[in-house]
Amino acid sequence: MKFKHIILLVALICLLSALSNAQNEHPQVPYIQHDICPFECCQYGTWIAKSYLNAYKKEGDNAAIAFTIKPGEKFSAISGNVHIIKLGIITINKTANTFTKGDKVYILSYRGEGAYDLWYKGKILDLDLDSMDKIWSNGTLIQMPKFVWWVFVKNKVGKQGWLRLKNITDSGFQIEEKIDGQDSCS
């Protein structure tokens, strides 16, 4: 009888340890956030190419081009998904609120006005700017995220494809491609 209790106790300890580790694990990359517009004033709708843009046949795959959009051409941006290819990492230095010293908070994608989507203990955090400031001030930035915005588009003749817009800055969101219409603030 004691042997069964020991086995059950060992199994329970292993299960609790696995659950604890699972909460601290980071999301698998690439991690895809669906229906995201990754900066303040971001909007879908009618966009105008200011440089040549390749629209790819499949999201996440830039091997096959569906069509090319020429400078000056209008097209419809319908929706978009952000593919996080490298997680950002913040290590918490000081226990505050729900964060404990030594915890890791993972940075996903930029949302605008200095805010990012964050992953903590298996959940995406929806924080106001004051809470974001507390994380930045109570933690050490280890690395910023790397992400690509895949935008589903349709041209004037009805061809559909995906634009691959890679973020080229470590702070916020910026792309090399020149496109008008994606920013409602400009």
> Is there a domain that residue 58 lies in?
yes
Task: Report the predicted TM-score, pTM, of the whole model to 2 decimal places.
Answer: 0.82
Domain membership of residue 82 as a residue range: 31-180
> Quick one: which of 171, 182, 176, 111 has its CA closest to 146?
171
Q: What is the pLDDT of residues 141-183, one digit of tens each?
A: 999 999 999 999 999 999 999 999 999 988 788 999 999 999 9
Residue 8, in any domain of the structure: no
Residue 22 in domain: no
* 101 domain residue, yes or no: yes
Calculate the average pLDDT of the chain.
Answer: 87
Q: Are the C-beta atoms of 29 and 87 separated by less than 8 Å? A: yes
Domain assignment of residue 14, yes or no = no
Count of domains forming the chain? 1
Inside any domain, residue 69:
yes
> What does the block give as tokens for 56?
């790819």
Q: Is residue 118 pLDDT above 50, yes or no? A: yes
In a domain, 66, yes or no: yes
CA-closest candidate to residue 165, choices 182, 186, 144:
182
Q: Which residue has the tokens 């505050």?
A: 96
Q: Are 93 and 99 in contact (CB under 8 A)?
A: no
